[in-house]
């Protein structure tokens, strides 16, 4: 029995009132817009204010996700929160003020973050992590004289002691929290009293238990804390059953039931209406009314199953979300997963039905945490399978992006090949004529002239060879570009590569749009030498950046033409003539090499700069961009070459992308 009671209160969380949880989308949107405001803010006091609001939203979002069983999302959100809050800049923002109250407010949020993260660790069975996070929250809170998080941390530790059946330690710990005045702890004071009562109850000190529950109840009533009321009513009902006072027990159980009928469950507490029904069942065993006993057993069972079903549905919803991202996964596959999840639901219900028929002993064991863990493990396997498929799809997408950019290149390549081939044909024809002339000169006896012609022929043969090789390199490059497997790094002439892809991009664009033209500038640092890179990958990045630059300058040109057209043909000299310019330059710097692609196009609006490396993000009209170009470029530069890809842009004035590669 003790074990079940502990399980009920496993996951008590404080700090946020779940009754006021907001819809998820709203919250995400809010975090996004607050973050934008935060980045834009230049005054420290405003930054601090916004930062505090953002961390609050993060915790609330993560907490809600945990409470509704979306563990993966909760985990992700907590990590975002830690990243945001534990950033050096954030701490120094608060420290700079030299105001101990403001500094303290930083640590208040930090302690609260650790504390709530501890719950997620508990819910997902990471007991060591859980304890570590509670202790960390406690440590920080004590150092900063923060009564709320100090008592929360202690409560968490007390819970762990309770789970381990170390009632003495649990009692000592929880009693420390009660040394603080109720006013300092606030909303969740009643929950601490409830825990104290439960520990006393389990130690069979029923009078002390009753005392704590009653105090908890009056505090919860005063604060209008329905959860606190439901918990302490429940505690009192249990205590009165133990004291053999069935009338009082019944009354309190019904009070708790009334609230829980609305609340149904406090999932994060693993306290639910089924627990109250179970208490009523215990009560009727005591008073000996078989009908009611059976009724409440059935109700406890039914509700237990219902809530379990809900959790499975939530898990399935989480899977569904992952599945939705999977663009090419077949519909049948999704169906299969749904069927499986349904099958699992039904088999689970079947097992539970058998368990209930077997009676109390099995009914108890069904509540045990292990069950949940097994379920979780199977869900995890499912999620991992989905992830594996997601990776496969990603690989396919990458290949198709390669083919898209190959398509862009084809026209450029055709042009690039035609020129060298023309030279090969022309110089060989001319050489043929020259040989005839040379023979004539020799017959005339003018050997000097013949020698001169021979020189020319030799020169022509070299040219034929040069242009043949040029065509050959273009074809090879094209094959490399679409090659499926990851290629090896090789010592590469970056300047030559940049020049080649600039030409290809230019002619590719020209072939698609004859009216397009841009001033191309190159500025190559000859001292950079050979750099170890995967040439076709870096080539693809350069191609992508130049293609984007062309797009940007063209958009600007079009918009300017519109403005001019709007002015009629009047001689409006306000508008300077716009020369679309795209430049590519290279630069050697210490042990690094930089490739800079710069344009004077439309620039990137501030609100999307952060998103440009996200897969599928594109500002081009539908069908014109895959939204994968920059994300792949980023991937290639950072992961493939341990380099950096940085952007510097001003809306309406232009953009400059800098690729920085290590030279080793």
Partner 1 sequence: MKILVVDDEMDVKDLFLQRFRKEIRKGELKFVFAFSGEEALKTLDGLQHETVLILSDINMPGMSGLELLKRIKSKYIAPPPVVMMVTAYGDDENFNTAKSLGADDFLTKPVDFKMLKQKLLSN
Residues of the shown chain interacting with partner 1 in the complex, contacts defined by CB under 8 A: 415, 418-419, 422-423, 425-427, 430, 434, 456, 459-460, 463, 467, 506-507, 510-511, 514, 517, 519-520
Round to whole Å and give the CA distance between 311 and 371: 13
Nearer to partner 1, 464 or 595 (CB): 464
Q: How far is the CB of 633 from partner 1 (least distance, A)?
A: 23
Q: How far is the CB of 545 from partner 1 (least distance, A)?
A: 17
Residue 403 near residue 628, CB atoms below 8 Å:
no
Structure token digits, residue 378: 């199977």
Structure token digits, residue 108: 């208040």
Nearest Cα residue to 555 out of 521, 605, 596, 498? 605
Nearer to partner 1, 293 or 431 (CB): 431
Nearer to partner 1, 245 or 470 (CB): 470
Nearer to partner 1, 403 or 558 (CB): 558
Q: How far is the CB of 577 from partner 1 (least distance, A)?
A: 12
Burial of 456 (0-12, 13-18, 19+ CB in 10 A): middle
> Tokens 């341990």, residue?
642
Inter-helix orientation angle 273-287/226-242, to 10°? 20
* DSSP structural state of residue 210: H
Q: How far is the CB of 514 from partner 1 (least distance, A)?
A: 5
Give the distance, in angstroms, between the CA of residue 566 and the centroid of all CA atoms in the same chain.
45
∠ Cα 631 635 637 (to 5°): 115
Nearer to partner 1, 58 or 551 (CB): 551
Residue 264 near residue 272, CB atoms below 8 Å:
yes
Nearer to partner 1, 314 or 426 (CB): 426
Q: How far is the CB of 427 from partner 1 (least distance, A)?
A: 7
Nearest Cα residue to 521 out of 602, 603, 604, 580? 580
Nearer to partner 1, 54 or 584 (CB): 584
* 3-class SS string, 58-105: HHHHHHHHHHCCCHHHHHHHHHHHHHHHCCHHHHHHHHCCCCHHHHHH
Q: How far is the CB of 517 from partner 1 (least distance, A)?
A: 5
Round to whole Å and give the CA distance between 580 and 336: 54
Q: How far is the CB of 552 from partner 1 (least distance, A)?
A: 17
The total of other beta-carbon atoms located within 10 Å of residue 546's CB is 27
Nearer to partner 1, 459 or 638 (CB): 459
Backbone angles phi, psi at 515, to 5 degrees: -80, -10
Nearer to partner 1, 189 or 427 (CB): 427
The total of other beta-carbon atoms located within 10 Å of residue 655's CB is 24
Q: How far is the CB of 625 from partner 1 (least distance, A)?
A: 24
Nearer to partner 1, 412 or 625 (CB): 412
Q: How far is the CB of 519 from partner 1 (least distance, A)?
A: 5
Nearer to partner 1, 430 or 442 (CB): 430
Nearer to partner 1, 99 or 523 (CB): 523
* Sequence-separated contacts (24+) of 484-492 with Cβ below 8 Å: 484/399, 486/534, 487/534, 487/535, 487/536, 487/537, 488/534, 489/532, 489/533, 489/534, 490/532, 490/533, 490/534, 490/535, 491/530, 491/531, 491/532, 492/530, 492/531, 492/532, 492/533, 492/535, 492/538
Q: How far is the CB of 430 from partner 1 (least distance, A)?
A: 5
Q: How far is the CB of 642 from partner 1 (least distance, A)?
A: 33
* Sequence-separated contacts (24+) of 416-421 with Cβ below 8 Å: 416/474, 416/503, 416/504, 416/507, 417/471, 417/474, 417/475, 419/467, 420/467, 420/468, 420/470, 420/471, 420/474, 421/467, 421/471
Q: How far is the CB of 442 from partner 1 (least distance, A)?
A: 17
- Concatenate the DSSP letters of all residues of 222-257 into one string: HTT-HHHHHHHHHHHHHHHHHTT-HHHHHHHHHHHH
Nearer to partner 1, 98 or 514 (CB): 514
Name every residue whose Cβ is closer than 8 Å to that of residue 559 and which is 6 or more positions away in sequence. 602
Q: How far is the CB of 418 from partner 1 (least distance, A)?
A: 6
Nearer to partner 1, 230 or 518 (CB): 518
Nearest Cα residue to 261 out of 277, 250, 241, 247? 277
> Tokens 């069972």, residue?
301
Q: How far is the CB of 522 from partner 1 (least distance, A)?
A: 9
């Amino acid at each position: 029995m003790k074990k079940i009671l502990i399980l009920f209160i496993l996951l008590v969380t404080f700090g946020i009132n779940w009754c006021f949880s907001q819809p998820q989308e709203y919250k995400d949107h809010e975090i996004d817009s607050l973050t934008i405001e935060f980045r834009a803010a230049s005054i420290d006091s405003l930054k601090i204010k916004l930062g505090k609001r953002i961390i609050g939203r993060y915790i609330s979002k993560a907490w809600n996700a945990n409470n509704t069983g979306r563990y993966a999302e909760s985990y992700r959100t907590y990590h975002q929160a830690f990243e945001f809050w534990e950033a050096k800049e954030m701490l120094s923002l608060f420290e700079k003020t030299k105001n101990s109250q403001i500094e303290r407010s930083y640590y208040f949020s930090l302690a609260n973050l650790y504390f709530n993260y501890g719950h997620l660790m508990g819910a997902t069975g990471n007991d060591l992590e859980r304890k570590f996070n509670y202790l960390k929250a406690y440590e920080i809170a004590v150092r900063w004289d923060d009564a709320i998080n100090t008592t929360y941390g202690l409560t968490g530790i007390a819970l762990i002691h309770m789970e381990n059946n170390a009632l003495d330690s649990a009692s000592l710990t929880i009693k420390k929290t009660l040394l603080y005045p109720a006013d300092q702890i606030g909303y969740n004071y009643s929950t601490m009293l409830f825990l104290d009562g439960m520990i006393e109850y389990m130690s069979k000190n029923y009078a002390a238990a009753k005392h704590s529950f009653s105090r908890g109840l009056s505090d919860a009533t005063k604060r209008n804390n329905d959860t606190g009321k439901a918990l302490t009513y429940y505690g009192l009902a249990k205590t009165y059953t133990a004291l053999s006072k069935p009338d009082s027990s019944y009354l309190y159980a019904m009070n708790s039931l009334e609230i829980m009928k609305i609340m149904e469950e406090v999932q994060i507490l693993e306290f639910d209406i089924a627990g109250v029904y179970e208490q009523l069942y215990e009560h009727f065993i005591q008073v000996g009314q078989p009908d009611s006993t059976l009724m409440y057993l059935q109700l406890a069972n039914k509700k237990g199953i219902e809530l379990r079903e809900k959790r499975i549905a939530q898990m399935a919803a989480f899977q569904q979300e992952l599945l939705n991202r999977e663009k090419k996964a077949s519909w049948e596959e999704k169906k299969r997963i749904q069927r499986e999840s349904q099958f699992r639901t039904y088999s689970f219900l079947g097992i539970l039905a058998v368990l209930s028929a077997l009676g109390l002993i099995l009914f108890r064991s069904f509540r045990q945490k292990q069950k949940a863990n097994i379920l979780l493990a199977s869900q995890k396997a499912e999620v991992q399978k989905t992830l594996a498929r997601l990776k496969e799809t990603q690989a396919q997408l990458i290949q198709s992006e390669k083919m898209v950019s190959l398509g862009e290149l084809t026209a450029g390549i055709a042009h690039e090949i035609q020129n060298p081939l023309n030279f090969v044909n022309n110089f060989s024809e001319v050489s043929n004529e020259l040989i005839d002339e040379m023979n004539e000169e020799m017959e005339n006896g003018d050997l000097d002239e013949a020698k001169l012609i021979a020189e020319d022929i030799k020169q022509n043969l070299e040219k034929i060879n040069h242009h043949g090789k040029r065509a050959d390199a273009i074809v090879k490059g094209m094959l490399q570009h679409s090659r499926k497997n990851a290629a090896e790094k090789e010592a590469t002439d970056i300047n030559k590569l940049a020049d080649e892809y600039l030409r290809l991009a230019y002619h590719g664009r020209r072939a698609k749009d004859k009216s397009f033209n841009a001033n191309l500038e190159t500025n190559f640092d000859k001292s950079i030498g050979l750099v170890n890179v995967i040439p076709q990958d870096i080539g693809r990045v350069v191609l992508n950046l130049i293609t984007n630059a062309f797009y940007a300058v063209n958009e600007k040109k079009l918009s300017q033409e519109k403005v001019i057209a709007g002015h009629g043909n009047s001689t409006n000299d306000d508008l300077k003539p716009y020369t679309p310019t795209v430049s590519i330059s290279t630069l050697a710097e210490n042990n690094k090499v930089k490739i800079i692609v710069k344009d004077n196009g439309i620039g990137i609006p501030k609100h999307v700069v952060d998103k440009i490396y996200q897969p599928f993000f594109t500002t081009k009209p539908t069908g014109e961009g895959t939204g994968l170009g920059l994300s792949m470029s980023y991937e290639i530069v950072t992961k493939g070459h341990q380099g950096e890809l940085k952007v510097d842009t001003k809306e309406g004035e232009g953009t400059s992308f800098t690729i920085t590669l290590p030279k080793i």
